[in-house]
Chain A
Amino acid sequence: MIPTRRRVHALSMLLALWAGGSYPSAAGEIRWQFDTGG
């Protein structure tokens, strides 16, 4: 449910800020990567 997730997100952001001033992770995922050689 979106509203619940948003509340969790807001809470985790507050906790993260309080703990060390960093922001919530996107918790993302690399689907693939490619090396162009520079």
Chain B
Amino acid sequence: MYAASCSGSLYALERTSGAVRWRYDTAADGATAQFHGDPVVTDGLLVIPSDARPVGHVYAFDLATGEVRWKTPVAPGGVTSHLVRWASSVVGLTPTGRAVSLDLATGAERWSVEPAEEVPVLGAHPALAGERVVYGAGDGRVRAVEAATGEVAWSRALDSRPNTAAVVDGDHLLIGTADGSLYRLGVAGGEIAARLELPATPVGTPALRGDRLVLVGAAGQLMVVDRELRRVLWTYHAVAGWSSFQPLVEGDTVVAGTDGGELYAFDLATGRVLWQERLTGTLRGIGRSGGTHYLGTLQGTLYAWEAGEGDVSDPLAWLAGNWRGRQGEAVIEETWSELEGGDRMGMFRMIADGAVVFYEFMTIEQAGDAPPVLRVKHFDRGLVGWEERADSVVFELVEADARRAIFAQRDPEAPTRLTYSLTEAGELTVVLEKEGPEGPSHNEFRFRRR
């Protein structure tokens, strides 16, 4: 995992232990820089924006070694926004709202778009909408720029200056403004499709999930609205104020942190608080991999934190992701989605001698308070099913905690248990135990997260 700080250093850390793999100190390039925007990770490169006065750099690091492949000075002030990737380029915004496109391979500037006037805004971020980059700037305008050439396709003045990241929703974009409004604009021509007054000025990077948009607002408001901007669905007021400007939305859960070090998890659908935890510091960046949350604080402490027994929002959260391993000579791969709409889906394939032996399609569905049910269908190459149309191999969840889930098949003839566990080293093991006429069998599959 990668962590960048306001004290000028970027760290590559081991996800499971926090051990430092490599480090880069921006003091080597003049003034100590800060990191505010999300990087682009691609083709073995970590491309990350930094800001410093008078000049900040965009850096491209070799992911494995930390070697600087290129660094490009950007004036004025560097790049304070997230970077977005288009083809073989990245685009970011300076603190004054200048959009800059850099070549991904060399860091050379491809094009730039100047704002009408230079008004600093921290918290404006671009987004990619097809072949265009869309963003708001301190000059009060939202622009759509052709990613290839930098040609401005349209520019629209709003009643107040844009104050959030642009979020793309198909052929529309969503953006909040300093007067507490949220706009839905057409990507093609910038026409206003909808506008909604919010209970607080939106800030940061809203998250779109399904038909809902999650926004952090000033004055301690967390707000969830529908994507068409018809109404505010729920809000939650934190006395200490929300300090994580990019709420984490995974599956049906929203996670956000406050100035007071409180971490909250909400049910996206209803706004119900699922759990709360108190840490030390002003919570800023929130990431998650498997069952572990990575929490950055303004004071500089980075926590790798796991929810415990109190987290009943999603007991199998750690299963999500793409897993790969070997079973003898065969390559095995398993993928699980996050929980969404109460369900989770998965796939498995086994490859031996360069060909797929079989596939599985799996769901873990939950209805009401009944235990979740795992269903598996098997397929040969050519997607020829093993089971009849309505049939599948069915397991019931009988036990689950933060690192383990046991499913059982209640067949008195051949009782079967399927145990998924996450090891201390972050590996996934799947153990299939069967009682058959020929005695018990035990098969173990081991995977590493990709």
Contacts and interface: CB of A to CB of B under 8 A. Distances in A.
A28 B306 contact: yes
Interface string B381-401: 000000000000000011110
Interface residues of A, number: 24
Interface in B337-393: 369-372
Contact of B301 (A1, A27, A33): A33
Given A2-B400, A30-B303, A31-B304, A37 B275 contact: no
A32 B400 CA distance: 23
Contact of B13 (A9, A27, A34): A34
Interface in A1-38: 1-3, 5-7, 9, 22-38
B55 interface: no
A25 B300 CA distance: 24
B304 A33 contact: yes
A30 B304 contact: yes
Interface residues of B, number: 44
B7 A36 contact: yes
A29 B292 CA distance: 10
Interface of A is mostly: mixed
Contacts of B305: 28-31
Contacts of A9: 310, 312
B6 interface: yes
Interface of A: 1-3, 5-7, 9, 22-38
Given A23-B275, A25-B276, 15 more contacts: A1-B398, A3-B371, A6-B369, A26-B275, A26-B276, A26-B311, A27-B309, A27-B310, A28-B307, A29-B308, A30-B304, A32-B303, A36-B11, A38-B5, A38-B6
